[in-house]
């Protein structure tokens, strides 16, 4: 059965357009409270990123939860993985994240974490959706939920992040440029790296509600690349709006994406004898170069569907500890329960400190294949798998690429677009084939 509201990463859309409205959030808070509470737990956490609509939705969710008889702990602006961590440590029955991640300020969304700090299982999301159809019934006045603000939420999470690398490892002598995307890490990430001894040059850390992800952050690293070179920094670190993704920039200004970071972490764990398992989990978008580099280390690469929840499903099913996406959403299950940009960055920095090698040198152990992705706007639902012209274009490209190439065509789970990805060993051919398929898809969508 298809879910009506929940997608691969919660509920997301444009603010003011159903269901991303105050009225819906009020009912969602009530439905979540009725679905997630238990006799032994009646507290739910609410955290948010820095977009202006977070104020409105925080209040609406708070009212709905109170009406259902749940107590609320307000975290304020907090990275998504920080909310997952605090949900566990504060023994809440669930955590709610108000965020649209890397999307612009005019979008927003809701994500839930279970009491264990993990994404909700499907059955609970179905239960919440079913409760949305029930009439909202407010509990007796004496049973209404109370709200309190967790004033030390940021400090708690900062200390947790620092604890994910050995206390013997410091970042003294490293000059870092840290791009907070004007998002939820603005008051967290610079403090983490500074307290560990690094010299930090912060950027995009003045959120005004409208500038989250605006020409900054992990999806738009061009300014960071320039600043790293201008300041002759050792590297740059870029987070997305809610802090669950990270990209890095080496001292030469070259981007180091999630696949390369995943390789660096996996190789260090393997060589140092740390628990890892016999494989790493990636996605259909993971670069072929990652698969080849891991194979040379004796490790496999499992390709999950795109989306961190699918990476997590593979990790749990195969009892593995490390997985991620090329977007920089990396999950280190030996450290935490979800993708965490700050924690992932710290794992890479720790490798640099221990080996004495630069990020540029560390990433050179993996040779990326040229890969190009083109997003085609999708104004309506269309079944591209049964569109002859599109499938002919895909088959033709696959034939031309041969064994050292791939074509992937998929609708985005978070945006109204179709993603056309082509990968191969010849950048000119990759570009030509990707544009050719994109043109055919654009024509099919417009027809």
DSSP strand pairing (417-423 vs 406-411): antiparallel
Q: Does domain 258-363 have CATH number 3.40.718.10?
A: no
Could you count the other beta carbons within 10 Å of the beta carbon of residue 46?
28
Least confident of 131-140, 209-218, 276-285, 403-412: 403-412
Phi, psi of 41 (to 5 degrees): -150, 125
**Tokens 């600043």, residue?**
227
CA dist., res. 236 & res. 436, Å (int)? 35
**218 and 181 Cβ atoms separated by less than 8 Å:** yes
Burial of 51 (0-12, 13-18, 19+ CB in 10 A): buried
Residue 129: left (phi > 0), alpha (psi -120 to 50), or beta? Answer: alpha
Establish whether the linkage from the previous residue to 287 is cis, with ω within 30° of 0.
no
Q: Which one, of 247, 244, 311, lies nearest residue 281 by Cα? A: 311
**CA 84 to centroid of chain Cα atoms:** 13
Buried b (16+ CB within 10 A) or exposed e, 265-280: bbbbbbeeeeebbebb
Q: What homologous superfamily is domain 11-151 in, according to CATH?
A: Alpha-D-Glucose-1,6-Bisphosphate, subunit A, domain 3 (3.40.120.10)
The residues carrying an active-site annotation are 101
Return the domain boundaries, the chain: 11-151, 173-254, 258-363, 371-446
370 DSSP 8-state letter: P
pLDDT by residue (tens digit) across 51-90? 999 999 999 999 999 999 999 999 999 999 999 999 999 9
| Digit-coded pLDDT (tens) for 275-330 | 899 999 999 999 999 999 999 999 999 999 988 999 999 999 999 999 999 999 99
Task: Tokens for 429, please give them.
Answer: 């051919």
Query: What pLDDT, on a 0 to 100 scale, did the predictor assign at position 345?
Result: 98
Q: Is the four-CA dihedral 272, 278, 279, 280 of positive or negative sign?
A: negative
Q: Could you tell me which of 277, 231, 271, 240 has the C-alpha nearest to residue 258? A: 240
| 173-254 matches 371-446 in fold | no
Q: CA–CA separation, 165 vs 96, rounded Å?
A: 27
Task: Specify burial of residue 101 (Cβ count, 10 A radius: 0-12, 13-18, 19+).
Answer: buried
DSSP state of 414: S
Residue-wise pLDDT tens digits, 210-239: 999 999 999 999 999 999 999 999 999 999
- What is d(CA 98, CA 100) in angstroms, rounded to the nearest whole number? 7
On whether the CB atoms of residues 214 and 248 are closer than 8 A, the answer is: no
Lowest mean pLDDT among 124-138, 354-368, 389-403: 389-403
What secondary structure letter does DSSP report for 84?
A: H
Q: How remote is the C-alpha of 208 from its chain's centroid?
A: 22
Measured CA to CA in angstroms, residue 110 lies from 21, 35, 45, 90 at distances of 11, 16, 13, 20
**Averaged pLDDT, 326-346:** 97
Burial class (CB in 10 A: 0-12, 13-18, 19+), 91: exposed
Instruction: Find, among 56, 90, 58, 94, the residue nearest to 74 by Cα.
Output: 58
**Average pLDDT in the 403-420 region?**
84
Q: What tokens does 438 get?
A: 């994109």
* Section 399-414 average pLDDT: 86
pLDDT at 414 (0 to 100): 67
Would you say 405 and 366 are in contact if contact means Cβ atoms under 8 Å apart?
Answer: no
| Residue % of the chain over a pLDDT of 90 | 88
Compute the CA torsion angle 203, 205, 206, 207 (nearest 10 deg).
130
The fourth-level CATH superfamily of domain 371-446 is Alpha-D-phosphohexomutase, C-terminal domain (3.30.310.50)
**So what CATH class is 173-254?**
alpha beta
Q: What are the φ/ψ torsions at residue 283 (nearest 5 degrees)?
A: -135, 180
Residue 148, H or E segment: strand 147-149
Backbone φ and ψ for 300, nearest 5 degrees, come out as -90, 165
- Taking residues 132-141, report their average pLDDT: 97
The pTM assigned to this predicted structure is: 0.92
Tell me the helices (H) and strands (E) count for the chain, helix number first: 14, 18
Averaged confidence pLDDT in the chain: 95
**181 Cβ contact partners less than 8 Å away, ≥ 6 residues apart:** 102, 204, 212, 213, 216, 217, 218, 238, 239, 240, 241
For strand 371-377 and strand 71-77, is the pairing parallel, antiparallel, or unpaired? unpaired
Q: What percentage of the chain has pLDDT greater than the value 70?
A: 99
CA neighbor of 359 nearest in space, from 226, 264, 439, 244: 264
């Amino acid at each position: 059965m298809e879910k009506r509201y929940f997608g691969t990463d919660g509920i997301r859309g444009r603010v003011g357009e159903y269901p991303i409205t105050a009225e819906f959030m009020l009912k969602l808070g009530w439905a979540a409270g009725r679905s997630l509470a238990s006799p032994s737990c009646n507290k739910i956490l609410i955290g948010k990123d820095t977009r202006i609509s977070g104020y409105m939705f925080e209040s609406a969710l708070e009212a709905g939860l109170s009406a259902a008889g749940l107590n609320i702990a307000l975290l304020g602006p907090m990275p998504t993985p920080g909310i997952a961590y605090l949900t566990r440590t504060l023994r809440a029955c669930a955590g709610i994240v108000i965020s649209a991640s890397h999307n612009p300020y005019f979008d927003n969304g809701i994500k839930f974490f279970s009491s264990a700090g993990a994404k909700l299982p499907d059955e609970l999301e179905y239960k919440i959706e079913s409760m949305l159809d029930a009439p909202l019934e407010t509990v007796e006045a004496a049973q209404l939920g109370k709200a309190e603000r967790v004033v030390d939420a940021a400090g708690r999470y900062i200390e947790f992040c620092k604890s994910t690398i050995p206390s013997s490892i410091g970042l003294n002598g490293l000059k870092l440029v840290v791009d907070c995307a004007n998002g939820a890490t603005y008051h967290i990430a610079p403090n983490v790296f500074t307290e560990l001894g690094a010299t930090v040059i912060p950027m995009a850390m003045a959120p005004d509600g409208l500038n989250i992800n605006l020409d900054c952050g992990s999806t738009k690293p061009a300014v960071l690349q320039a600043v790293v070179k201008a300041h002759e920094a050792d590297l740059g670190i870029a987070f997305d709006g809610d802090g669950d993704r990270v990209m890095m920039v080496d001292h030469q200004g070259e981007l180091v994406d999630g696949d390369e970071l995943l390789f660096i972490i996996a190789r260090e764990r393997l060589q140092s004898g740390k628990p890892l398992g016999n494989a790493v989990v990636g996605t259909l978008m993971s670069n072929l170069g990652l698969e080849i580099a891991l194979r040379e280390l004796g490790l496999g690469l499992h390709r999950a569907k795109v989306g961190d929840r699918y990476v997590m499903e593979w990790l749990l099913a195969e009892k593995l500890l490390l997985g991620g996406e090329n977007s920089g959403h990396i999950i280190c299950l030996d450290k935490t329960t979800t993708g965490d940009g700050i924690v992932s960055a710290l794992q890479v920095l720790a490798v640099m400190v221990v080996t004495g090698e630069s990020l540029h040198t560390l990433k050179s152990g993996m040779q990326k294949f040229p890969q190009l992705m083109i997003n085609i706007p999708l104004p309506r639902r269309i079944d591209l798998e049964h569109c002859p012209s599109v499938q002919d274009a895909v088959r033709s490209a696959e034939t031309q690429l041969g064994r050292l190439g791939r074509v992937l065509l998929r609708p985005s789970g978070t945006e109204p677009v179709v993603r056309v990805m082509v990968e191969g060993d010849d950048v000119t051919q990759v570009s030509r084939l990707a544009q050719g398929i994109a043109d055919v898809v654009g024509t099919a969508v417009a027809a």
